[in-house]
């Protein structure tokens, strides 16, 4: 289902996974108004110019999701989130335990929203075994979503596969942002293991979808983005 009062075109978040800020600006210019919301993560952080890029997006009325997956002692996480809260970003991710998420939530300010990572979409049950988790992916997603809610976070990062069960327990109290989106069910997923289509993500209860390679690597990235926007609009119009 399409949830919450969110403009349809803001529901697509483009994962700007490119090696440099210059490349990011060139691609964003090419995409134009086909994309209103960008995710910038660790690759761009390490390339230099990350906050200049954030300011560049904001100056063009774009929304920015800083996908930095903070994981450190709570005081450090809190300080990092507090500093970012003054920069104009819309979302930031925390990938830690309850005390880290609580510190992030206490320091987010009035506009920044904190999203807790549940289980990365590049992981499956075999990977959880390697990490020492004696539970199913679905059970871990649900446990972490409950912790996010109790910690004061605004939302979660979750594969669309687990969202129906997640919604049963947290209802509409959390935003759900779904990475691992592919245009069709049989599209090669690369390093993503738990993927869904745009339609499945929204039918399952997601609020936003994160799409990267299907747009970035398309012959015509703008046309690819507009195609996904049209599919999101269909889902919004059907509710």
Q: What is the 3-state secondary structure (H, E, C) of the chain?
A: CCCCCCCHHHHEEEECCCCCHHHHHHHHHHHHHHCCEEEEEHHHHHHCCHHHHHHHHHHCCCEEEEEEEECCCHHHHHHHHHHHHCCCCCEEEECCCHHHHHHHHHCCCCCCEEEEECCCCCCCHHHHHHHCCCCCHHHHHHHHHHHHHHHCCCEEECCHHHHHHHHHHHCCCCEEEECCECCCCCCCCCCCCCCECHHHHHHHCCCEEEECHHHHCCCCHHHHHHHHHHHHHHHHHCC
Is residue 1 in some structural domain? no
User: pTM here?
Assistant: 0.89
Mean pLDDT of 136-148: 79
Confidence of residue 1 (pLDDT cuts 50, 70, 90): very low
Number of domains in the chain: 1
The whole-angstrom separation of Cα 178 and Cα 162 is: 10
Tell me the per-residue pLDDT of 54-102, one tens digit each, with 9 for 90 and over: 999 999 999 999 999 999 999 999 999 999 998 999 999 998 899 999 9
Is residue 160 in some structural domain? yes
Is residue 215 in some structural domain? yes
Question: What's the pLDDT at 89?
Answer: 98
Tell me the per-residue pLDDT of 17-48, one tens digit each, with 9 for 90 and over: 999 999 999 999 999 999 999 999 999 999 99
Is residue 138 in some structural domain? yes
Mean pLDDT of 93-115: 95
Q: Residue 20 sits in which domain range?
A: 8-237
Is residue 190 in some structural domain? yes
Q: Judge whether residue 217 has pLDDT over 50.
A: yes
Task: Point out the residues that are catalytic.
Answer: 69
Is residue 2 in some structural domain? no
Tell me the per-residue pLDDT of 157-208, one tens digit each, with 9 for 90 and over: 988 888 888 898 888 899 999 988 876 544 444 554 446 899 999 999 999 9
CATH of the domain at 108: 3.20.20.70
Is residue 3 in some structural domain? no
């Amino acid at each position: 289902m399409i949830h919450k009062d969110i403009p349809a075109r803001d529901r697509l978040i483009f994962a700007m996974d490119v090696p440099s800020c210059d490349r990011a600006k060139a691609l964003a210019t090419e995409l134009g108004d086909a994309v209103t919301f960008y995710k910038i993560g660790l690759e761009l952080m390490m390339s230099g110019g990350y906050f200049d890029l954030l300011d560049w997006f904001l100056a063009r009325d774009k929304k920015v999701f800083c996908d930095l997956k903070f994981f450190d002692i709570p005081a450090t996480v809190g300080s990092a989130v507090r500093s970012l809260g003054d920069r104009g970003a819309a979302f930031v991710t925390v990938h830690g335990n309850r005390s880290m998420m609580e510190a992030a939530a206490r320091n987010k300010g009035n506009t920044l929203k904190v999203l807790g990572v549940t289980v990365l979409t590049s992981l499956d049950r075999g990977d959880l075994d390697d990490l020492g988790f004696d539970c199913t992916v679905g059970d871990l997603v649900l446990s972490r979503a409950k912790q996010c809610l109790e910690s004061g976070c605004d939302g979660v990062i979750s594969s669309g596969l687990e969202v129906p069960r997640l919604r049963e327990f947290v209802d509409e109290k959390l935003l759900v942002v779904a990475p691992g989106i592919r245009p069709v069910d049989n599209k090669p997923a690369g390093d993503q293991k738990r993927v869904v289509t745009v339609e499945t993500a929204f039918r399952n209860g997601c609020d936003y979808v994160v799409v990267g390679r299907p747009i970035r690597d398309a012959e015509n990235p703008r046309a690819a983005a507009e195609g996904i926007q049209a599919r999101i609009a269909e889902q919004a119009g059907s509710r």
